[in-house]
Chains A and B, each alone.
Chain A
Amino acid sequence: MHKATALLHHHSSSKEVSLEVIEQEKHFVAQFADGSHTQLPVDRLKEDPQNKQLGGSSRGLNVTDFDLLKTLGTGTFARVWLVRLKNPAEEDRDKFFALKVLRKVDVIKLKQVDHVNHERSVLADVAGYPFITTLITSFSDHDSLYMLLDYCPGGEVFTYLRKAKRFDETAARFYAAEIVVILEFLHEREGVAYRDLKPENLLLDADGHIKLVDFGFAKKIGNRETYTLCGTPEYLAPEVIQSKGHTTAVDWWALGILIYEFLTGYPPFWNQNPIEIYKQIVSKPVHFPDSPSISPEAKDIIRQFCTVNRSHRLGNMAGRAESVKAHPFFHGVNWDDVYYRKHRGPIIPPLRHKGDATCFDDYPDDKAHRDAYTHDLQRKWDNHFKDF
């Protein structure tokens, strides 16, 4: 066990790794299949010896060590697969993972090299935190980068929200509270801005708790501001649109949009034309529909999050996340219970077995045509991917 983990921290481009090492790594990986269910308080997560082993670069693992079972999600340069170890030991037969595959050539073409490296390093830093997808290990081959993550079988909150049309305030509060805890952790412990909060990036685990996935835009910024425009149009904060430099405060803005969308079924600023969305975001106050009726507390917290001037934005003022927790919308919430997941979620995914992927939508196969990762590209860029 110890031997295996020591090896996992050393990246080697050479594939001359003994079978024994690979077997050790497989064994190591298998123990994390079900994600983290730690009961450690948040300030002691890093002490957990198991957590320390997570997020390293693998020495010998290869995509061929896994069976790729089903696509769980796609992006322009990434695809996430439900996978299982190939030829699993009897006790590992039921252990499933999510394998995120990024094609180097697409990452380069789309200028996402920095973002991909931020993603890997932030995920490695937070591995073991119960509400965030766990990076178990990463590896690469000639064409692609791989991140092996725990499998969160419940599917996206997005899917449930669209199907239910909207959530009641109890359900919205449950998810919002878990997100407050996540943002408190990311901002105040890790100095990380997440930058892509939306229902599509929230998965449910078997008990209906949230796991935040897709750290493609997450970045460790500490107290500083950052400048690269990224996010999802409906969820972009005004300061991002206007290139004013942005901070972790963008996530609180997005949480306001998210709660609105939970309660109404659609985001507050919308138009078919993205430019019109952006104009609304920078200039219009949030408007609430007559129906469904939304409580004054919910309206207030949404308005306070969606405050254009971030020096007046809830979550970004004195007290930070603590002041969010104290807002009347969360009245009665026991925040320790939230962190320790004392209560099951309002939606329990109907799962029949561990590798059940029916909560995920179906995705079409890969495009046939792919650009090649040429020798020139490799010479120029492979050094940028050395952390994988």
Chain B
Amino acid sequence: MPPQTPSLSNIYTDAINSLTQEVLKEQPRDIIQYCANYFNKQLEIERTRSLYQSTISTAAMASSTFPGRMGTNANPFGSGLDSGSNIGITKVAEEDENDTITSPTTPSFGFKGNSTFGDFGGDGAGGPPSSWKAPSGDGFPAHYGMGRRTSVSAESLNPTASLNENWSPPFHQKTEDQLARLKRSISTNFLFSHLDDEQSNQVLGALVEKPIPAKGIKVITQGDQGDFFYVVEKGIFEVFKNNSGVLQPGADGLGMKVATIESGGSFGELALMYGAPRAATVVSTEASSTLWALDRITFRRILMDSTFQRRRLYESFLEEVPLLFTLDKYERSKVADALDTQKYPAGTTMIKEGDAGEAFYLLESGECEAYKAGKEEPVMYYKKGDYFGELALLNDAPRAASVISKTEVKVATLGKDGFQRLLGPVESIMRRTKYETGVEDIDPLTK
């Protein structure tokens, strides 16, 4: 059953009684100052004592369904997104985010939430939990919260291809200038910096224009669940944080202004990961500003679908390579996972005749040709789905020919060390089953 914690009024009465006693005893001249000092000291003692006895979960501080780090979030752009409306007339421009799209979550059986440290088997320390910060100077990071950590989760998504559905990302036309600016804005962001060209183009295409017609519009509202990420195209936006973690009614409800975002800036990126309460309120300061918006589901689907397709593509490529026939499914998926994608312009010598073989290549797109010294004409032609150089995985024999890209090509490649790291010594793999054609007979450039 729940613990018997003293009621607030008891704590209060006790505190006031002891203060009264102290005041009577000390007879201070400046009563107010004395009381202030007294309580500060009491606070310190109480907090120190509860240091190892109690902890508070961040959950207790959040008012939303998603007990995140609200209220302790120093960065106004850190938390989620959006919406809500306070100013009636400007409502047009405010987002109507649909709460049901998104799902912050705190899972389940986690013994999460507000907690008090029990003694090791003692009866548990009574008293209300206090906001416990690790002592600095003991190597603990400043402001490190020692409470239980809440799990997070996005809505579950399954790759379009696996569902036999047809989905293609939304596409909104943009000018060259707009694209260049957008690219600059997001290229250094850690959620975008690793995207390949195709993913990047899809994401850029999916950003949708959001005109903000008036001054004073709340684009995102602190404490609301966030589903969108924004890039500022035009205008200046101000960022406010209310220490309560949620936008409050009234004139001061916005809280403190903590930042200004101008053209090229962005905010709300956490919403691209999962739905979490917005850490700040962002307000327009000019008439006719413009934002670009991207929602989490679209973003994640773009990344998921392209990753999924590429993985399946690699796996099917690998199934065709006789040298890898002895691999089981797990091993093949490991190799597919480790393949590195690279692009080369036309005319690149990817393999040089006579060099020691280091890596193996799958041709994802484009065309290549193989040449042998002393012959004008190419000896081999490679197209999408073909592979070359796989003997490098087995031995250090010099390359039997040069391979040169005929067009721009995209290849998936894996080196010998990578192969061995994932699968162990090649010899043992080859020993498992006799390699049908006999490894020695294979010319790397024929198939």
Contact = CB atoms under 8 A, between A and B. Distances in A.
A312 interface: yes
B13 interface: no
A232 B150 contact: yes
Interface stretch (A21-29, A38-46, A210-218, A380-388): A210-218
Contacts of B250: none
A244 interface: yes
A153 B274 CA distance: 34
Nearest to A154: B121
Given A77-B108, A310-B337, A318-B420, 18 more contacts: A110-B105, A111-B105, A159-B117, A165-B52, A196-B110, A223-B329, A225-B311, A227-B158, A230-B107, A230-B152, A242-B190, A243-B307, A272-B72, A272-B74, A272-B75, A273-B78, A274-B73, A274-B276
B120 A359 contact: yes
Nearest to A292: B139
B278 interface: no
B112 to A, nearest CB: 5
A276 to B, nearest CB: 6
B389 interface: no
A112 B105 contact: yes
Interface in A288-325: 289-292, 310-312, 317-319
Contact of B114 (A213, A232, A363): A363
Contacts of A162: 52, 55, 117, 146
Contacts of B113: 73-75, 363-364
A276 B75 contact: yes
Contacts of B77: 275
Interface of A: 69-78, 80, 100, 102, 109-112, 114-116, 119, 155-156, 158-160, 162-163, 165, 196, 198, 200-201, 213-217, 223-225, 227-234, 241-245, 247, 264-266, 270-276, 278-279, 282-283, 289-292, 310-312, 317-319, 347, 349-352, 356, 358-365
Given A163-B120, A243-B303, A275-B78, A231 B115 contact: no
Nearest to A356: B121
Contacts, number: 274
Contacts of A352: 121
B372 to A, nearest CB: 33
Contacts of A243: 299-300, 303-304, 307
Interface in B110-156: 110-124, 134, 138-141, 143-146, 148-156
Nearest to B151: A232
B68 A274 contact: yes
Contacts of A112: 103, 105, 107-108, 153
A318 B154 CA distance: 32
A65 B140 CA distance: 47
B124 A361 contact: yes
Given A227-B300, A312-B421, A75 B106 contact: yes
A162 B304 CA distance: 38
A60 to B, nearest CB: 24
Contact of B110 (A214, A274, A279): A214
Contact of A245 (B121, B139, B308): B308
Nearest to A234: B149
A154 to B, nearest CB: 9
Interface of B: 1-3, 52, 55, 65-69, 72-75, 77-79, 100, 102-124, 134, 138-141, 143-146, 148-159, 190-191, 194, 269-270, 273-274, 276, 279, 299-300, 303-304, 307-308, 311, 329-330, 333-334, 337-338, 418, 420-424
Contact residues of A: prevailing secondary structure: loop
B270 A275 contact: yes
B83 to A, nearest CB: 17
Nearest to B159: A227
Nearest to A213: B109
A228 B153 contact: yes
Contacts of B190: 241-242, 278-279, 282-283
Contacts of A75: 106-110, 112-113, 151
A196 B152 CA distance: 10
B75 A362 contact: no
A356 to B, nearest CB: 8
Contact of A156 (B69, B72, B111, B421): B111
A115 B156 contact: yes
A80 B109 contact: yes
A271 B139 CA distance: 14
A156 B111 CA distance: 8
Nearest to B335: A311
B332 to A, nearest CB: 8
B104 A358 contact: no
A324 to B, nearest CB: 14
A232 B115 CA distance: 18
20 contacts: A76-B107, A77-B106, A110-B105, A111-B103, A112-B103, A112-B107, A156-B111, A159-B115, A162-B117, A200-B111, A224-B333, A225-B311, A232-B152, A243-B307, A273-B74, A274-B69, A276-B78, A292-B139, A356-B121, A362-B118
